[in-house]
Amino acid sequence: MNTKRLLLGMAAALIVGPALAQQPAPAVPGWAVGRPEGSTLAPHGPTLTVTPVDRLPVAALRLPEGFSAAVFAHGIPGARAMAEGPNGTIFAGSRVIGRVYAITRNADGSTRTRVIAQGLNNPNGIVMAGNNLYVLALNRVLRFDNIEANLDNVPAPVELTQAFGLPGEADHGGNHFWKVASLGPDNRIYTNVGAPCNICSVDRDRFALLVSFNLDGSDRRIEARGVRNSVGLAHHPVTRELWATNHGRDWAGNDTPQDTLIRVRRSGEDHGYPFCVGSWADPQENAGRNCGEFAQPAALLGGHTAPIGMRFYTGTMFPEQYRNQAFIALRGSWNREQLSGYDVVVAKLDAQGNVTGVEPFMTGLRDDANQRFLGRPVDVQVLRDGSMLVADEQMGAIYRITYRQ
């Protein structure tokens, strides 16, 4: 070990704490900073085989009075972010299985699923603009023109990777590279660029951002800075403001920092990564910054609950109290001693767009007594009839929630 490495190692050890400072140790990788000695927490593995329909946990789902859930589609391993085409096709992206699914409804109410793209690197950014489907993967942006008319014979997509110029695999160093995408009321594509680490100082113009583009990939605009890892975006149907979910860092406690719901009041505003989450100063990367100088979260969603997809409820089937409220899928924790999340929650907003509370909406997938989970909600989608779809990535299924008085 040369002198420079030794010094680096010692510097890292000093930051972590006096116990490690007694002997020079190899530098602790950024993702593991703060990890307690002896912890055995590790991410839960995905299920990427088909789960038989009779093994889906639909009977375990709990909803408020008057709501019910049924299986909308199944046999779609890893199904994640959803978008709806003008003719009612539901498109679903995925992460490691690399597929994009198209789900159509048969006359009898059953569904048919096609794989319309595969072998892609985490194609989770799925957005419709007119008749065209955009797919944002880690290293590519593809446009499938007039997709609903071509589901049985999908033509080669238009390659927009260069035009969008998003950071690639090497830039992300394997961290937070998955995309989410949404079409804004200004007809621009909104997406995320995650931080290339658990916690580290980053180029704040390149990473930990929400960004928007024209449909052809031109005119990149930074919508929000200092957003560690957002995997859910939606525009408020009335105020047109951009809202997003955001994951806090790991290895800083069971309850700190909290995952957050953020509201972007002004394009380009700063949400604090890596220095702060709300009023919470990061123990390693705060760099003496006052947390009050950053935009504060619209709501705190709990430690490690992993909020993913979100949508405002714009339908009329649900009771009036749910109109324009934010539904958020919590994929559920791994970096926490007791499981948290695994629910769909609703953030209640007042007329000014301030969050007045966060309430459980769909529960039952987290088994606290046995510390296990039955599924992982990852996205919500409001259908035109006012019902709501919930994608369960772990079970490879989509549930449909309806309301009847």
Binding site residues, other proteins, CB under 8 A: 25-32, 35, 39-46, 48-50, 77, 95-99, 118-121, 169-170, 173-177, 197-198
What is the smallest separation between the CB atom of 102 and other proteins, expressed in angstroms?
Answer: 17
* Cβ closest to other proteins, residue 135 vs residue 347: 135
Contact by Cβ (8 Å): 227, 244: yes
For tokens 């997938």, the residue is 365
Using alpha carbons, select from 332, 329, 345, 340 the residue that is nearest to residue 398. 329
Q: How far is the CB of 397 from other proteins (least distance, A)?
A: 15
Closer CB to other proteins, 179 or 188, in the complex: 179
Q: Which is nearer to other proteins, 109 or 119 (CB)?
A: 119
As measured in angstroms, the least distance from the Cβ of 40 to other proteins is 6
Find the shortest distance in angstroms from Cβ 42 to other proteins.
4
Give min distance, CB of 43 to other proteins, in A.
Answer: 4
Report the alpha-carbon distance of residue 306 to residue 324 in Å, rounded: 22
| 49 or 153: CB nearest other proteins | 49
Distance CA 82, CA 73 (A): 12
**Left (φ > 0), alpha (ψ -120 to 50) or beta: where does 270 sit?**
beta
Q: How much helix, strand and coil, in percent to the nearest 5, is found in the chain?
A: 10, 35, 55
**Looking at beta carbons only, is 29 or 88 nearer to other proteins?**
29
Give the phi and the psi of residue 37 in degrees, each rounded to 5.
-55, 130
Using an 8 Å Cβ cutoff, are 330 and 363 in contact?
Answer: no
Whole-number minimum distance, CB 393 to other proteins, in Å?
A: 11
d(CA 322, CA 325): 5
Q: Provide, rounded to whole angstroms, the least separation between the CB of residue 103 and other proteins.
A: 19
Least distance CB 247 / other proteins (angstroms)? 13
Smallest gap from residue 198 Cβ to other proteins (A): 7
Comparing CB distances to other proteins, the nearer of 26 and 88 is: 26
Would you say 28 or 281 has its CB closer to other proteins? 28
Strands 372-373 and 366-367: antiparallel
Q: Please report which helix (H) or strand (E) contains residue 169, including its range.
A: helix 169-172
Closest CA to 330 of 358, 349, 355: 358
Nearer to other proteins, 31 or 363 (CB): 31
Q: List the one residue out of 203, 302, 222 whose CA is nearest residue 258.
A: 302
Nearer of residues 18 and 43 to other proteins, judged by Cβ: 43
**Closest to 268 (Cα-Cα) out of 328, 226, 217:** 226
Instruction: Identify whether the C-beta of residue 329 lies closer than 8 Å to the C-beta of residue 344.
Output: yes
CA pair distance 89, 84, nearest whole angstrom: 6
Question: How many residues in the chain?
Answer: 405
